[in-house]
Amino acid sequence: MSERPTFSPHWHRVAATKPRLRPHVQMTRQRYRGRRWHVAHDPASNKFYRLSPVSHEIVGLLDGVRTVEDAWKIVVEKHGDEAPTQPEVIQLVSNLYNSNLLSIEASPETEQLLRRQKDRLVKKVQGQALGIMYFRMKLFNPDGIISAVEPVLRPLIGRVGLAIWAAFILFTLSRLAGHTEALAGGFKDAIAPSNWGWLIAVYVLAKALHELGHGVICKRFGGQVPEFGTLLLVLVPSPYVDASACWGFASRWQRIAVGAGGMIFELFFAAIMAHVWLTTSPGMLMHQVAYNAMLTAGLSTVLFNANPLMRFDGYYILSDMLEIPNMMQRSFQHLQYLIQRYVYRLDDVTPPTTDRSEQVTLTIYGIGAMIYRVVLFVTISLYVMGKMFAIGLILAVWTAAAWFIMPVGKLVKWLSSGPKIAEHRGRVIATTLGLVALGAVLIGVIPMPDTRRGVGVVESELRSGVFIGETGFVRESLAYPGDAVEAGQAIVVLESPQLASQLAMARAQLAEFESIEREATATSPSAVGVARERVAAAKSAVAFLEKRAERLVVRAPHAGTFIGRDPHELIGQLASIGQVLGEVVDTDNVRIAAAMTQLEAAWLFDVGEKPRVAMRPVSRPGVVVKGDEIRAIDAGQAYLPHASLGFAGGGTIRTKQDDSSGLQAETAQFIVYVEPIANEDWHGVPGERVHLRFRLSAKPLAVQWVDRLHKLIQGRVQL
């Protein structure tokens, strides 16, 4: 803990002043973790300032007649060590003063006022410039709209309303539960480019409702909503309202309600749309639009707004739930404190809070938010770079500057001239260099597994059709689709009364001819020749019929897996010769074919690279199959091995829009073949999708990253 010196050399600047809170400042009492706090709110500038009870007492004593010195003395008299020290009072007074919450009898010097204005502007511009990933634009004051809507909804805002809402959502979910397949199936159509126009329209509507939700609830509990604007989130516009007035609410449930208001309204909208979707029939325009609305409103709420790791609704809700105001900032401060205290071993540092459980929460949240930021940054940058390289690059560099270079610069400055570490500068710098070196070794020297991913489809080199060999009624079915079958194993047994009687007749005839032949041998040798010929003819007729009868048992032509229609469905039906029953596929000799772009497959041509492959069939998520013998077929092959890899078939590769087969990729592809190693648990069924993981030889992460980035850029430059 750092010392708290009683006196400040600058005390004289405030001691004799007689400030007082500006008359319009509103004070509300809030409780956080069982402790009382006071929030000063200036509705004019929408500024907030949180005060501890003792600070609040001082501010209360400042009535414009009493001097700061006197107020301080009163508080010291009363609270002893609990009372703020002179530096703390100065901090308090200057903070309030600079937030325009405190007025001081004499007019402030004009220069100071102007400079403050300028500082604010500069800060705002800087903030905007650094945060191009979320650029704010104020549009208008939505108070008119909100004031019009709020009285209508007022009776519903409360417990009853919430209960109705919850019931409605649950009811909707239960209705939707029966239509999961249709729900999943619609997704493909919804994200098809042709639908984007509708998506955008519905998105705007849903988000407008969302913001209206915040606004109305905020208004309901007495807050003002002075600003509506649009936020360019990674260049995607999304509307916002300024509902920060809710920070002044005394009840935390009201604050939570405002935070959740957007999602409540949006989910309600999604639920209504779900019912529309359920009642309309496929093919109707309304059906598709409702689906879109459900998708955007429902999904974006859950994925985006509810996420507490960015400063969206979820963050504010969580922060109020945990009763930790300013959670993001304070968790970073806390991490900073932890590093200073335990990594740099500085003893003159103060944590932002002394509450144990709050510290734990801040630590967990801080680390989570950090990791999330980095991951989000990398994915978004790479994604945008993949789409629009130049813009992505600018965005990445810019954000890197804001998120990484600035903190590093601050660190360097702190190391070189931070007054707190003046005494241990050598040690602190050594520690930092040690950590940097450790990081460099981890990233740049120690080999790490290098894996690349892809999606493939099972292909078989040997596959035969299973046909009905003889017309007959299906009597029995001995295999199901997907069963492994041996060569010659019966799959379906048919019966043909006609054939049976023909065979019986032929057999009877043969018996007759044989007896005639025996007679002739004994009685008239001249007739023997003829009789033998007849026997032979009859025998061949029997043999022919027997063969046909044998074909009533449909057998697997070779070992493999039987696929096709389930023959059990055919029992009792007449099946005519030549009818296709299914296929037997040689599953011992399947291969996986994956399509990759030139860039994705570039590592294949690295000299000396012998990747190991692991595959996870989509149908059997738990199973891992190994593979080897990787071969790649020339670039320029614009046909995919299977339609399921393409965009049209639900895959990830863009296919040409005019191609009805869904096989023609937009860009040149490499076809990569992998031989799976036989595995008891899984027999690849042709057409099945498989996730591939290529494990290349281990190399340091830095090499891997440079390699990937290099290839990415190389690909772009060629374009």
Partner 1 sequence: MTTVDANLSRYHALFETVRSRRRALETLKGADQFVAWGALKLRQRRSRLVVLLEWATQVDSMAPEVRSLPETALDREIEELRGAFVRGRVNHGQVLRAMAVVREVASRATGEEAYVVQLAGALALVHGRIAEMVTGEGKTLTGSLAAPLLAWRHRHLHVFTTNDYLAERDEESRSRIYKRCGLTSGAIVQEQSPVERAGIYARSIVHGTPKQITADYLRDQIRMGRIDSAWAGWQRLGSEGPLVPGLQACLVDEADAVLIDEGVTPLIIARSRHEDELAPAYERAREIAGELEQDRHYLVDTLRKKVKLTAAGRAHLGAMVTDENWATARRAEELVRQALIAEHCYIRGRQYEIVDGRVVIVDEYTGRFLPDRSWEHGLHQSVEAKEELEVTADRETLARLSFQKFFRSYRFLCGMTGTAADSAGEMERVYGRPVTVIPTNKPVIRTQEPTRYFRGAEAKWSAIVERIRQEHDTGRPLLIGTRSVEASQLLSERLEVLGLKHSVLNAHHHEEEANLIARAGEPGAITVATNMAGRGTDIKLTPDSRRLGGLMVILTELHGARRVDRQFIGRAGRQGDPGGAAIFASLDDELVTRFVPRLGAWVAQRANYDELTGSRVATKVFALAQARSEGRDRRGRTQVMRQDDWVDRYMPG
Which residues contribute to the site for partner 1 (CB under 8 A)?
Answer: 3-7, 9-14, 17, 19, 80-81, 90, 93-94, 97-98, 102, 104, 106, 108-112, 115-116, 119, 417, 419, 422-423
Token pair belonging to 538: 């009859």
Among 457, 486, 463, CA closest to 676: 457
The interaxial angle of helices 425-444 and 701-718, nearest 10 deg, is 60
Q: How many CA atoms are closer than 13 Å to the CA of 141, on its beta-carbon side?
A: 5
- Cβ-contact 104, 66 below 8 angstroms: no
Measured from the Cβ of residue 455, the count of other Cβ atoms closer than 10 Å reads 18
Among 485, 451, 459, CA closest to 690: 459
d(CA 639, CA 636) in angstroms, rounded, equals 9
**Beta pairing partners, 175:** none
For 466, residues 6+ apart whose C-beta sits below 8 A from its C-beta are 491, 554, 556, 557, 562, 564, 580, 581, 582, 583, 584
**Polymer length of the chain:** 719
Token pair belonging to 342: 């335990």
Measured from the Cβ of residue 709, the count of other Cβ atoms closer than 10 Å reads 12
Long-range contacts of 606-612 (CB under 8 A, 24+ apart): 606/696, 608/697, 609/696, 609/697, 610/697, 611/452, 611/694, 611/695, 611/696, 611/697, 612/694, 612/695
The radius of gyration of the chain's CA atoms, rounded to the nearest angstrom, is 39
**Beta pairing partners, 596:** 670
For 654, residues 6+ apart whose C-beta sits below 8 A from its C-beta are 646, 647, 665, 666, 667
Residue 99 to residues 22, 421, 694, Cα–Cα distance (Å):
11, 30, 57
93/474 with CB nearer partner 1: 93
- Reduced to 3 states (helix: H, G, I; strand: E, B; else coil), residue 672 is strand
d(CA 310, CA 333) in angstroms, rounded, equals 16
d(CA 125, CA 337) in angstroms, rounded, equals 29
b/e 464-478 (16+ beta carbons within 10 angstroms → b): eebebbbbbebeebb
Beta strands 689-700 and 447-460: pairing type? antiparallel
Shortest separation between residue 130's beta carbon and partner 1, angstroms = 14
d(CA 448, CA 697) in angstroms, rounded, equals 9
Number of helices and strands (H, E) in the chain?
21, 22
13/29 with CB nearer partner 1: 13
- Reduced to 3 states (helix: H, G, I; strand: E, B; else coil), residue 212 is helix
The H or E element containing residue 455 is strand 447-460
Shortest separation between residue 123's beta carbon and partner 1, angstroms = 13
166/406 with CB nearer partner 1: 406
